[in-house]
Amino acid sequence: MTRLMSFNYKFMSVLLLSILWSSLARAGQLPDFTQLVEQASPAVVNISTSRVVSQRPKGSQFDLPGQEQLPDMFKHFFERQFPQQKPPQQGQAPKAQSSGSGFLISDDGYILTNYHVVKDADKIIVALSDRREMDAELIGNDPRSDLALLKIEAESLPFLTLADSDQLKVGEWVLAIGSPFGFDYSVTAGIVSAKGRSLRSETYVPFIQTDVAINPGNSGGPLFNLDGEVVGINSQIYTRSGGFMGLSFAIPSNTAISVVAQLRETGEVARGWLGVQIQEVSQDLAESFGLDKAAGALIAQVFENSPALAAGLQAGDVITQVDGNEIVMSAQVAHFIGAIAPEQSVVIQLVRGGESIDVNVTIGHLPKSVAGIGGAAEQGQYVKRIGLRVATLSSEKAQEWRIRNGIDILEVDAGVAKELGLKVGDVITSMANQRISSVQQFVELAATLPPQRSISLRIVREGRPLFVAFRLNQ
């Protein structure tokens, strides 16, 4: 019995030592950020802004600039959490204050930060690591990429280098320096979770997703690789609480390099424009369009007076490559096209009618806005096989929604129409890859559709086009 206890004791001791040595070995493999932080932090700055605001109702404790426009899930996080602000003295206008981060990119005082950090600011103050504070001039901003370029009057300043973010790999260690909740020069680290993420708020930015702890005040600060180079600019978080939840997003440094160059030269940014509305390709849509896999960007609409229309692109085309870059997800089209200089000619590869073709397109200038809004209709004919009632599209609605052809949905009854989520007021513009120009054509085509086969249907809802796919049981 004594020998058995002695054996168990020795066995447990060896096991614990083994676990300890294993833990120490793993710890030894973790990166040491101390030298990086010492070298890089002097170039990181704190940015404070103020702006005159309209008088808020009584009982309001503080004002977060732009908070009424923030998306529910993706929260810009430049706001600093303030205690109750003192009311303005008589004769003074109330002011809103906010705080964020930024970093020097040249020794003569150019600073990169987020656009939303300095948006609508009347006064911008930059605090350097040596405790100096200086007024900053806004050189230019780019809301679409959420970047802004500032300038302070100083020389021989420490600055950071923007690296090639395309070389960044998922799983790579990264580090952020910023001022979360006003705690200056806080350091957090993590790994790259994903690349090329598309967020609804910024279509033209292929975001870097990380699990680095980012909170209010980190916005506009640098994201470093282990070489101490800036690979991203911390911009957004995904949150339900307003704080860090393990999903942080940074603007790639390559995007920033292009934006900074244009802002320094002209004060604004010009982007390429194709002039199409696109959507993802589902497995059913891929089958209906003769694709081998569910990849690419399906063109749902070609805008009037656009480069796409001039080049002959059509609704129903599936873009598979842009200038030699393969398109897997539809959002990649905006990323690649937006990075191309206007007036430059590129080759777009697409699938049309099951065949792959190349089209030369001269990229245009991205306009400030492209929009369309909707209307209604009357009378109609019931199509039992699909489960809806349709009518002739009014010329007013066609003009308002910029639709050349189609029929109006008056009633959604059952079957396929209900399963697809079609709504009264939707306009059907094509079915089974055929343009729909009349109610009669739609009725005849519906009668000839084959069962148990994926069929594409293009609709326009409140001015926005969308492809869906369905199968008929009989």
Cα-based torsion angle of the residue sequence 337, 341, 347, 352 in order, rounded to the nearest 10 degrees: 30
CATH code of residue 205:
2.40.10.120
Last residue of a domain, one of 239, 269, 299: 269
Check whether residue 312 and residue 445 sit in a common domain.
no
Any domain includes 88? no
For 316, residues 6+ apart whose C-beta sits below 8 A from its C-beta are 289, 298, 299, 352, 430, 433, 456, 458, 467
Give me 62's structure tokens: 């503080």
What span, in angstroms and rounded, lies between the C-alpha atoms of 141 and 130?
27
Q: Which of 63, 142, 146, 408 is catalytic?
A: 146
Note whether residue 373 is domain-resident: no
Residue 87 inside a domain? The answer is: no
Tell me, yes or no, if 219 is annotated catalytic: yes
CA–CA distance from 292 to each of 348, 442, 445 (Å)? 19, 28, 26
Query: Do the bridges between strand 173-178 and strand 186-199 make them parallel or antiparallel, or are there none, so unpaired?
Result: antiparallel
DSSP conformation class of 143: T
Coil vs helix vs strand at 400: helix
Identify the active-site residue in 48, 99, 116, 330.
116
Same domain, 256 and 387: no
pTM of the full structure: 0.66
Task: Supply the pLDDT for residue 30.
Answer: 81
CATH code of the domain containing 308 = 2.30.42.10
Question: At which of 224, 241, 269 does a domain end?
Answer: 269
CA 8 to chain centre: 58
146 is catalytic: yes
Q: How many structural domains is the chain composed of?
A: 3
Alpha helices in 377-452 (DSSP H): 395-400, 415-419, 439-448
Tell me: do 174 and 115 sit in the same domain: yes
Residues 294 and 151 grouped into a single domain = no
Are 74 and 218 members of one domain?
Answer: yes
Are residues 199 and 295 both part of a single domain?
A: no
Q: Which residues pair with 349 in a beta bridge?
A: 321, 358
Helix, coil or strand: residue 139: strand
* Domain, as residue range, for 227: 36-52+68-82+94-269
Q: Which helix (H) or strand (E) holds 1?
A: none
pLDDT of residue 416: 84
pLDDT, residue 138, reads 94
Amino acid at 140: G
Chunked into runs of 10 residues, the chain (474 residues) has average pLDDT values of 51 54 55 92 93 50 38 42 46 64 95 92 92 93 92 94 94 94 90 86 82 90 95 85 77 94 88 87 87 89 87 93 91 89 93 92 76 35 85 77 86 81 89 88 88 89 88 79
How distant, in Å, are the alpha carbons of 4, 22, 25, 26 from that of 13? Answer: 14, 14, 18, 20
Q: Which of 290, 279, 165, 152 is nearest to 222 (CA)?
A: 165
| 11 lies in some domain | no
- Beta strand spans in 61-157 (E): 74-76, 95-104, 110-113, 123-127, 133-135, 137-142, 147-151
Answer whether residue 110 is part of any domain: yes
The neighbouring-strand residues paired with 403 are none
Secondary structure letter of residue 374 according to DSSP: -
pLDDT at 10: 54
Q: At 282, which helix (H) or strand (E)?
A: none
151 belongs to a structural domain: yes
Q: Are residues 336 and 394 in the same domain?
A: no
Residues 218 and 170 reside in one and the same domain: yes
Q: Cα-atom radius of gyration of the chain, to the nearest Å?
A: 28
Largest CA distance in the chain: 98
Together in a domain, 349 and 385 = no
**In-domain check, residue 175:** yes
Q: From 269, 299, 319, give the residue that closes a domain.
A: 269
Given the residues 98, 165, 201, 219, the one annotated as active site: 219
Residue holding tokens 């559709």? Answer: 449
Identify the CA nearest to 214 among candidates 182, 183, 180. 180
Residue 101 lies in a domain: yes
Is 180 found in the same domain as 116? yes
In this structure, are 350 and 389 located in the same domain? no
- In this structure, are 347 and 277 located in the same domain? yes
